[in-house]
Amino acid sequence: MSARLSKTVKIGGFEHIKTVQMGGDFPVAVQTMWKDRLSFSDIESGVIAEKINTLDSLGCALIRFAVPNIEAAEALGRLAGMVSMPLAADIHFDYKLALRCLDFPVAKLRLNPGNIGGREKVRQVLEKAAKKNIPIRIGVNAGSLPLDIQKQVDNGLELSEAMVLAAQREIAFFDEFGFTSFLVSVKASGIADTIKANRIIAQICDAPLHVGVTEAGPLVAGVARSTAALLPLLAEGIGDTVRVSLSDTMENEIIAGREILRAAAELAAEKTETAANRQRLNRKGVTVVSCPRCGRYGFDTHGFTNRWMAKLYALNKDITVAVMGCEVNGPQEAKHADLGITGAGDKVLIFCRGKVTRVITAADADEVFEEELNKL
């Protein structure tokens, strides 16, 4: 079976906003959601714009912001005028918030047409979005299904089928009004429900799919559950943008998303008929390998990795970096690495492709590592 190839939706690409293409044979985009309320003071101080630049450097393609009230809409509009990354507004219940966000260079809306107040209000949002060429994501979550569909679930309808049914209803709204620039997501907190729902919707809809496990959990549990759900989907060509929803930092959501795509690309490589899908999943950038540390350790791999993780993922270098704890896991087991660091007694070793190139003290480790990294 060939990989799914959806239609393409363009996000951004107007005024000062960068263009992100989702769907088709374009790379699968990693996105995140802003974790805090927006305040005008933080926006005007430049703190948020600086944070967005950091997330951009890590490989984030788009950031979504909750817009619960008109103050949040105004704040998001102000921020959208200050940054080049496409920003998305997450709207529930009040169609006027969507209309207001469309007055600004907001690049995308996420809404559920079924909960913003009826056909006329949906029509107003779609007409204004169409006029401004702003795409919309139809977002269906297992925990917020329409009441009549929820009753069917209570009477035995499978949750995955119920989510697809809700999505089809919203797609019909869009089709009725001739609005074609949309994406779809069907998300659940369960792994099996997420996989099955996305497999079904991928067969009946050609819109780009936003995939993820909703409310995935804290860092370790959330990454594990998201990986279990997303790997098979992505390897099959299902999914055009991903968000790993963690009770953790945005940086870790992006890094997790990148690593899941990398793993999916390896799985897809076993399927010779999906070369195009491998291209969508492949990501250039640093690969970090590190040992877990044990009683033999002569180098603090945990502390070093924590200090360097964000810096390494921000590099536009297609290299492998190894952070190892001792001679056993050092140059030999990581001899494939372009650059590595490990401990040996009271010394620290820098190695390249299995060969030790420098022997230094622990106090000099970060400085020397940076010097060698800049040479690559």
What is the rounded CA–CA span in Å between residue 256 and residue 260? Answer: 6
What is the rounded CA–CA span in Å between residue 40 and residue 58? Answer: 25
104 and 216 share one domain: yes
63 and 167 share one domain: yes
Q: What global pTM score does this model have? A: 0.91
Instruction: Name every residue whose Cβ is closer than 8 Å to that of residue 375 and which is 6 or more positions away in sequence.
Output: none
32 and 173 share one domain: yes
Is the pLDDT at 31 greater than 90? The verdict is yes
Query: Considering only 17-26, 72-81, 147-156, 298-307, which range has the smallest mean pLDDT?
Result: 298-307
Residue type, position 5, single letter:
L
Average pLDDT score over residue span 272-282: 70
Nearest CA-CA partner of 243 in 231, 252, 228, 253: 253
Number of helices and strands (H, E) in the chain?
A: 13, 15
Q: For 337-375, how does the pLDDT look when each residue is reduced to its tens digit (9 = 90+)?
A: 899 898 877 888 899 988 889 998 989 999 999 999 999
When divided into structural domains, the chain yields a total of 2
Average pLDDT score over residue span 235-251: 95
Q: For 188-208, how does the pLDDT look when each residue is reduced to its tens digit (9 = 90+)?
A: 999 999 999 999 999 999 999
Average pLDDT score over residue span 53-62: 96
Separation of CA 286 from chain center: 17
What is the rounded CA–CA span in Å between residue 170 and residue 27? Answer: 26
Q: Which tokens belong to 317? A: 């270098």
170 and 76 share one domain: yes
From 246, 281, 316, the end of a domain falls on 281
129 and 19 share one domain: yes
192 and 66 share one domain: yes
CB 253 within 8 A of CB 246: yes
Residue type, position 115, single letter:
N
Q: For 132-185, how does the pLDDT look when each residue is reduced to its tens digit (9 = 90+)?
A: 999 999 999 888 888 899 999 999 999 999 999 999 999 998 999 999 999 999
Q: What is the pLDDT of residue 275?
A: 66
Query: At 3, is the pLDDT very low, low, confident or very high (cuts 50, 70, 90)?
Result: low
Average pLDDT score over residue span 221-238: 95
Facing residues of 185 across strands? 139
Is the pLDDT at 292 greater than 50? The verdict is yes
From 245, 266, 281, the end of a domain falls on 281
264 and 303 share one domain: no
72 and 130 share one domain: yes
Q: What is the pLDDT of residue 272?
A: 53
Instruction: Specify if 367 maps to a domain.
Output: yes
Instruction: Specify if 2 maps to a domain.
Output: no
Q: What is the pLDDT of residue 199?
A: 96
CATH assignment at residue 49: 3.20.20.20
What is the rounded CA–CA span in Å between residue 209 and residue 26? Answer: 13
Q: What is the pLDDT of residue 299?
A: 79
238 and 158 share one domain: yes
Q: What is the pLDDT of residue 114?
A: 67
Instruction: Specify if 1 maps to a domain.
Output: no
Q: Which residues span the domain enclosing 213?
A: 8-281
From 260, 281, 302, the end of a domain falls on 281
Q: What is the pLDDT of residue 1?
A: 42
Q: For 88-103, how does the pLDDT look when each residue is reduced to its tens digit (9 = 90+)?
A: 999 988 999 999 999 9
Q: What is the pLDDT of residue 329?
A: 65
CATH assignment at residue 371: 3.30.413.10
291 and 265 share one domain: no
Nearest CA-CA partner of 321 in 352, 367, 346: 352
Instruction: Specify if 3 maps to a domain.
Output: no
Q: For 105-121, how does the pLDDT look when each residue is reduced to its tens digit (9 = 90+)?
A: 999 999 876 677 778 88
Instruction: Specify if 27 maps to a domain.
Output: yes
325 and 277 share one domain: no
Nearest CA-CA partner of 372 in 327, 322, 326: 322
What is the rounded CA–CA span in Å between residue 339 and residue 341? Answer: 7
CB 315 within 8 A of CB 344: no
Name the maximum alpha-carbon separation found in the chain: 73
94 and 163 share one domain: yes
